[in-house]
Structure 1
Amino acid sequence: MAGLINEEDLATVRERSRIEDVIGSYVTLRRSGGGSLTGLCPFHDERTPSFHVTPARGFFHCFGCGEGGDVISFVQKINHVSFAEAVEFLADRVGLQLRYSDGGGQRVEPGLRLRILEANQLAAEFFSGHLLAPSGLPGRQFLDGRGFDKDAAEHFGIGFAPTGGRELGQHLRSRGFSDDELVKAGLVRENGWDFFQGRVLWPIRDAGRSVLGFGARKIFDDDRMPAKYLNTPETIVYKKSTVLYGLDLARGNIAKKNQAVVVEGYTDVMACHLAGVDTAVASCGTAFGDDHARMLQRLLGTGDVSGGEVIFTFDGDAAGQAAALKVFKGDQNFLAQTYVAVEPGGLDPCDLRIQQGEAALRELVGRRVPLYQFVMRNVLAGYDLDRVDGRLAALRAAAPLVSSIRDESLVLGYVRELAKWLGMDPEEVRREVKVTVQRRSRTAERRPEQEEALPIPEPRPGLPVPDPRDRRLEAERGTLRLIVRAPETFTADWNGLVADDFTHPAYRALFESVLSAADGAGQWTQRILHARPDPVLEQLVVSLAVEPVLRDPTEAYAREYAAQLRVQGLSRKIAGLKSKLQRTNPLDDQQAYNRMFATLVNLEKERKELLALATGPAL
C-alpha cells in the first residue's frame, strides 16, 4: 500500500492548482471588489451570490452556509472524496507525478484520471446520440414502455450502445485515445470489442457531473451477456461501493431538504425525480453499503440527529426484508433518522408511477415508517404471538433492536410500541431491553482473548435437563415429586392436570409417561420409566424419588399443588388471550372479539376458584 504523499509534491499541487480555475469548472465566477470572485454557492441553494473566492490567498468561503477552505478541501467537498484522492485528482490536472513515502511509489500514472473522465464524457455523448438514431429505436421503445419520453431521456442523459460492438472504440480512437486508456476506462475490452453492446445506458456521474461510468440494461433476448444489468468494471474513477446513481441531480436537493431517498434501480431514480421526489439516488450494481451511508451523511451535512432523514424503498418480500436488516446493521453510520417506504402491492417506484401515477409515488415516500419499526415488525412476524413462549422469544429477538436505538429519547416510545405489538406489559419489555443493554456492555468490556477462551457449549441430544433450583418451575417439580412418591394422594384424573400445565419439556414428558403408566402392572416408578425409556427421565425420576417433601403427603397437599399448577396454566392462557385482544381491532370482527372476551371472563372465574385451593407451600 502506498505511503504518505511527498510534502514537496503536496506544496507543488497547491501552487499549480489555481483555485479560481478549479472552482470555475463547477461554479460561474464573476469579478467583485477587493480582488475576489463571487458566484452561487455549490453547497447550498441560493439566489443571491454569497460564495467568495480569493485567488491571492487561495481560499474560498461562503457567507451563506459557512463552507470554506483551500483548493484541496474544495475538491474533497464537491466530489466527496478523501484528502489523498483530492490531491491525486489535482496532480493529474496539472500533470504532476506524485511521490509517496515508505517506498509506496506511484499510484496512478500522471493524467490518467483526467483522460478516463474525458473518454467517459465523450462516450456518454456518443451513446446519447445513438439513442436518437434509427438504430436506437429498440432503446427508445424500452424507455417508452417504462413511461419515459424524449425529454426525460435527455434530462438523465440516457444512451444506447450500438449492436455492432466496435463503434465506440473506433470513435474514441479517432479522438486520440489509445487502446490502453480505453481498457483502463472500462469502455473497451482487451480483445478490442466495446464493453457495452446493444443496451440502454445510464451515465453514472459524481456530484460535479463528471461521468465516472455507466449502467447498462439488457433489451435483446440474444444478448450474449446473461445479466440483466451490466456496470462499468472497477476503474480508478469508478468504484461501485462509493458511487450513487442520480447523485449529480439530487445533491443540491438532499442538502436543501435534509432528505435522501434510496431506491434500487436506475428507472426508479428517474421515476422519483419526475414525480417530484428529487432526492432519490440508487447504488450501482451492488448492495447499499457503509461507504454509501457515509457519502449520504456528508451530503446531509448535519450533526443534529433529528435534522435529516434517509428513506429506503425496499420490496416487501424476503429479499427486501434481508436488505432492510443489512442496512439496519450499518445504521450507526447515519446521524440522520432512517426510514422505510414499502408499497403494499410490491410495486417498485417505476412500476408504481406507471400504474398509479406520480402522486402515488409521492404518497409512498410520505407513508414512510422508521427503519427500526419495519425491522422489528418483520422479526416479530416469525413468532407465534398467541403463545406465551412465542411472545417471550419474540421479545428477546426484538430487544437488541430497541436497545441499539441511537436516540435515547426515542427508546421509551419504542418500548411502548413493542409492548403493544406483543400484547405485553411495557414494564416487562423495558426490563428485557435493559438486560440486553447490560449484556452488550459486558461483552464490549471483555477482551478478545477472554472471548476466545470462553467454552462453546455443544448441543445435547434428547430432552433438556431441568434445573431443580429454578423457582419458576417449583410448582411443576413439586407436583411431579408428589406423583412419583405418593400417586395415591391424587384422584384418578390427577386432580384435573393435563400435559399443557407443564412448561418444561422434561417435566411435560414425565407427566405424559405418568398418564401412560397409570393402568399398568408392576412397581410404580418402573412403569413410568418403561412408558418412555429416556436417560434424562430416568435421572429425573430417581431425583424426585429421593428429594424431601415439605410435609407428609396427603390428598389436601396434592390438591394444593395441582391447583397451583393449574392456576399458572390458566394465567398463561389468560395472558395469551389478553395479548390477542390487545392486538385485535373490534371493528374488524366484532363477533370474534366478543367470543374472546367471553372466554376471558370464564377463565378469570375459573382461576379465581382455583386460587382458593392453591394455598400450598410453593405459593
Structure 2
Amino acid sequence: MAGLIRDEDIAVVRERARIDEVVSDYVTLKHAGGGSQKGLCPFHDEKSPSFNVNPSRGFFHCFGCEEGGDVIAFLMKIDGLSFAESVERLADKYGVQLRYQEGSDRPQKRDTNLRPRMLEAHKVAQVYYAEQLATAEARQAREFLTGRGFDKDAAEKFGVGFAPRGGEDLYKYLRQKGFADAELVTGGLVGQGQRGHYDRFRGRLLWPIRETNGDTIGFGARRIFDDDRIEAKYLNTSETPIYKKSHVLYGIDLARRDIARASQAVVVEGYTDVMACHLSGVPTAVATCGTAFGDDHSRVLRRLLQDHDEFRGEVIFTFDGDSAGQKAALRAFEGDQNFAGQTYVAVEPTGLDPCDLRLQQGDAAVRELVARRIPLYRFVLGNVVSRYDLDRADGRVDALREAAKLVSAIRDRSKVEAFSRELSGMVGVDIEEARTEVRRAASRPAEAQRTRPEDRRAAAAEPAPERPAAPPLPDLRDPRFALERETLKLVVQHPEAVGRMAKDVDAADFTHPTFRAVWEAVTGCGGPASAPGAEVWVAKLRDVLEDPAAVTALSALAVEPLLSSKEPTTAYVAAHVFRLQEITAMRRINDLKSRLQRTNPVEHAGEYNKMFGELVALEQHRRTLREKAIGGEG
C-alpha cells in the first residue's frame, strides 16, 4: 500500500524520541526509583500518582486506568492522532527523515484528521500576526501595550500580535503558504460566509493561546478601534478540534516549568494580568480563556503541580473585591476539593488587578499581592458571614446556617473539620455548635427540615460526650510517611551512599514519632557519614534504641527492599534526602504564613516585616532544596 512509513524509520523514531521528554510536555514527572518516573495520569482523574514512565525501556503505564504503551501510543492517546501522524510529529521534532513505501515521500492522502495541519497553520499565523504588530496600521495596538507597561521585548516574549483590518489578509497569506480552506475554517482561523472566506480576527490585538508543549491552538483578541463593529471587548477562538476552552490555560507554556519547581500556580483573570505577573517575578501565573475556572482546568494544574496527598501543591486565585469577584471565588471554592493541596485567594484592597497594580505601584506590589494571600475557604466563608449582623443572636444563627451549607457540600471530608473550626471563630459560636450545624446541613434534604422546639430542648439537655482517649500512633506504612521510610532505609542499609548528604537532616524532618526515634539513634551514633559496616551499623543502632516500637521498626528498615531495584545512586539518595528537608521547609512556610495572616501589618509592622523576611528566606531555601532533589546534587 502506497504511503506507508518504512518500519526501519519508525524504529529510528522510537529510538530517538525520549518518552520522558515527550510525556513531560503534558505531565510533571518525578523520580520514582529503579530508573522510573511517576506523575498524575493525564488519562483519568486521580489524587495519588499511578502513572509510571520508564525512559530506558521507552514505555509508560498507569496502574490506575491500565493505559500503557510506547511514545507513539502516548501521543495517539493524548492528542487523538493516528499512528502515522504521531510518527510524523515525532520525526519532525527529533530530526528523522521519513521514507514511505513504493517511493512516496509522503502519502498524498491518509485520513480526515486535520490536527497536524491546523497546528501548523496556527504556528504560521502567530508569526504573521507578530510581524504585523510593527506596521503603521498597528500603532494604536502598540500604544495600548505601552500604556499598560509592556514594551517591545514583552510583546515578543508573549508572542503578542495584531490582526490587520482588511478582512482577508491572513486568509490570503495562509493560502499562499499552501493551506487548504478546510484546514483554516475547521481550525477557527478563517470563517466562511455567503461572500466567501474572511479572517476571524480583524483589527484586534492578539495573544496566542498555547498548549503546555508550546503549540499554538488559538488566539485571544482585544478590541482596539472605537469603530470595531463587534462590541465584545475580548474575542477568543471558537471551539475547534484543537481548542477546547475548558481545557486551556493562557500562559501555561511559559509557566509550566516554574509551576512544577515551585509547586505553585497563580490563576489570574486576563492576558495582561498574566504578562504583568511574569514580568514582576511571579512566573507561575496563568489565566482561563473567556470561561470560568473549572474541573478540567484543575486537572491540568494538578498534573503540573504534582499535587497529591504526599506532596501537595498550592493554587492561588486572584479575584476583584467586587460582587463578580466574590461569585468567582464561590465557584472556585466549589471546586476546591479537586486539589489535594491548599487553595488561596489574593485580593488587592484597592481593587486593582495585577496589570494595573504593576503599572501604578511597580513589580514589588504584584509579588506582595501574591505573598499576602489568604486561604480560599476563609475568604468565601468571610463573605457569607459578612452579610449578617453578628451582634444579634438571630443574625449569628442565620450566618451559621448559611455558611454551614457550603462546608457540608465539600466532597473532601478531611477538610470539613478545619472549615468548621474556622466558621465557629468567624461567627462567634462554640465549635460543637458549628459542627452540629454542618452535620445538620449535610443531612438536610433539599427543603430544609424544621425541628420542633421540644426536640431542640431535648438535644440541648443531652449530656456532653465523653472526651475520647488519645489515638494510637498511625501505621508506619501509611503513605504519608513513605518518604521518611525510604530515606531511613537508605540510611540504615546504605549509609556509605548517604554519607554527608544528610548532614542537615534533623529529627524535625520526621513526623512519625517512631521514625524520629530511629533518626535520633542515627545521629547519636555519629550519623551515616561515620557508620561502620552494614551489619555492625544496624547492631550499633539497635543497642542505643530504648523504645520497643523503634527497635521493631529498625529491623523492618534493615531488611525491606528499597523501592529502587538497583543499588542507590547519588540522584536517588538526593531525591529522598533533599525532598524530605523540602517538605519540612514547606511545613515551616505554612506555619509562618498562618502567623502572617493573623498579624495586622499596620499595628505590628515590625513583627510583620520580620516574619515576611523570614518567609522570603524560607522560600529561597525550599527552592534550593527542590533544585538539589531534582538535580541529584550532593
TM-score category by the smaller chain? 0.5 to 0.7
Find the counterpart in structure 2 of residue 169 from structure 1: 171
* C-alpha displacement of 1:51: 10
Q: 2 CA distance for matches of 1:150 and 1:354? A: 16
**Paired residues for 1:47-126 under 5 Å:** 58-59=58-59, 70-72=70-72, 75=75, 82=78, 84=80, 90=86, 93=89, 109-126=111-128
Distance 1:329 1:273, change over 3 A: same
Q: 1 CA distance for matches of 2:185 and 2:455? A: 70
Find the counterpart in structure 2 of residue 275 from structure 1: 280
Amino acid paired to 1:209: G
Matched-pair contact (CA < 8 Å) for 1:306–1:337: no
Distance 1:295 1:128, change over 3 A: same
1:232 corresponds to 2:237:
yes
Find the counterpart in structure 1 of residue 153 from structure 2: 151
Q: 2 CA distance for matches of 1:41 and 1:390? A: 49
Q: 1 CA distance for matches of 2:234 and 2:336? A: 27
Find the counterpart in structure 2 of residue 391 from structure 1: 396
Q: Aligned-pair RMSD on alpha carbons?
A: 4.2
1:287 corresponds to 2:292:
yes
**Paired residues for 1:152-551 under 5 Å:** 152-190=154-192, 191-304=196-309, 307-403=312-408, 411-437=416-442, 439=443, 469=454
Amino acid paired to 2:280: A
**TM-score after normalising by structure 1:** 0.59
For residues 571-619 of structure 1, give each alpha carbon's deviation from its aligned partner in whole angstroms, at most 9, with x where no partner exists. xxxxxxxxxxxxxx9x99xxxxxxxxxxxxxxxxxxxxxxxxxxxxxxx
1:189 is paired with a residue whose SS is strand
Distance 1:182 1:312, change over 3 A: same
2:144 is paired with a residue whose SS is helix
1:18 is paired with a residue whose SS is helix
Matched-pair contact (CA < 8 Å) for 1:26–1:208: no
For residues 10-53 of structure 1, give each alpha carbon's deviation from its aligned partner in whole angstroms, at most 9, with x where no partner exists. xx9x96792355559977xxxxxxxxxxx99994699xxx9999
Q: 2 CA distance for matches of 1:41 and 1:413? A: 33
2:424 is paired with a residue whose SS is helix
For residues 377-406 of structure 1, give each alpha carbon's deviation from its aligned partner in whole angstroms, at most 9, with x where no partner exists. 111122221211110111111123334567
Between stretches 344-353 and 391-400, larger displacement belongs to 391-400
Q: 2 CA distance for matches of 1:405 and 1:217? A: 37
Distance 1:109 1:318, change over 3 A: farther
Q: 2 CA distance for matches of 1:110 and 1:55? A: 32
Matched-pair contact (CA < 8 Å) for 2:19–2:58: no
Matched-pair contact (CA < 8 Å) for 1:92–1:112: no
For residues 481-501 of structure 1, give each alpha carbon's deviation from its aligned partner in whole angstroms, at most 9, with x where no partner exists. xxxxxxxxxxxxxxxxxxxxx
Aligned residues: 413
Between stretches 304-313 and 406-415, larger displacement belongs to 406-415
* C-alpha displacement of 1:430: 2.6
1:19 corresponds to 2:21:
no
Distance 1:189 1:412, change over 3 A: closer
Q: 1 CA distance for matches of 2:54 and 2:418? A: 51
1:260 is paired with a residue whose SS is strand
Q: 1 CA distance for matches of 2:54 and 2:263? A: 29
Q: 1 CA distance for matches of 2:299 and 2:274? A: 20
**Paired residues for 1:552-563 under 5 Å:** none
- Percent identical among aligned pairs is 56
Matched-pair contact (CA < 8 Å) for 2:251–2:287: yes
* C-alpha displacement of 1:237: 0.5
Matched-pair contact (CA < 8 Å) for 1:372–1:401: no
Find the counterpart in structure 1 of residue 568 from structure 2: none
Q: 1 CA distance for matches of 2:378 and 2:121? A: 46
Distance 1:162 1:368, change over 3 A: same
1:193 is paired with a residue whose SS is strand
* C-alpha displacement of 1:130: 0.7
Q: 2 CA distance for matches of 1:309 and 1:200? A: 32
Matched-pair contact (CA < 8 Å) for 2:211–2:248: yes
Gaps of 5+ in 2: 38-52, 62-67, 92-109, 459-599, 604-634
Between stretches 131-140 and 81-90, larger displacement belongs to 81-90
* C-alpha displacement of 1:306: 6.0
Distance 1:253 1:317, change over 3 A: same
Distance 1:111 1:471, change over 3 A: closer
Distance 1:24 1:45, change over 3 A: closer
Amino acid paired to 1:340: V
Amino acid paired to 1:19: R
* C-alpha displacement of 1:144: 0.2
Q: Please, which of 137, 140, 158 is the counterpart of residue 139 of structure 2? A: 137
Distance 1:423 1:469, change over 3 A: closer
For residues 195-251 of structure 1, give each alpha carbon's deviation from its aligned partner in whole angstroms, at most 9, with x where no partner exists. 111111000110110000100000100011111001111111011111110010011
Matched-pair contact (CA < 8 Å) for 1:218–1:228: yes
Find the counterpart in structure 1 of residue 606 from structure 2: none
Matched-pair contact (CA < 8 Å) for 1:312–1:341: yes
Between stretches 189-198 and 426-435, larger displacement belongs to 426-435
Q: 1 CA distance for matches of 2:73 and 2:396? A: 53
For residues 91-123 of structure 1, give each alpha carbon's deviation from its aligned partner in whole angstroms, at most 9, with x where no partner exists. 78599xxxxxxxxxxxx9445101000000000
Distance 1:221 1:170, change over 3 A: same
Amino acid paired to 1:151: D
Q: 1 CA distance for matches of 2:89 and 2:343? A: 38
Distance 1:250 1:75, change over 3 A: farther
Amino acid paired to 1:90: S
Gaps of 5+ in 1: 1-8, 28-38, 62-67, 96-107, 444-450, 474-584, 589-619
* C-alpha displacement of 1:408: 6.2
Amino acid paired to 1:71: V
For residues 141-183 of structure 1, give each alpha carbon's deviation from its aligned partner in whole angstroms, at most 9, with x where no partner exists. 1100110001100000000111112111111110001222211
**TM-score after normalising by structure 2:** 0.58
Distance 1:136 1:329, change over 3 A: same
Q: 2 CA distance for matches of 1:215 and 1:168? A: 16
Q: 1 CA distance for matches of 2:166 and 2:11? A: 44
Distance 1:24 1:172, change over 3 A: farther
Q: 1 CA distance for matches of 2:291 and 2:316? A: 18
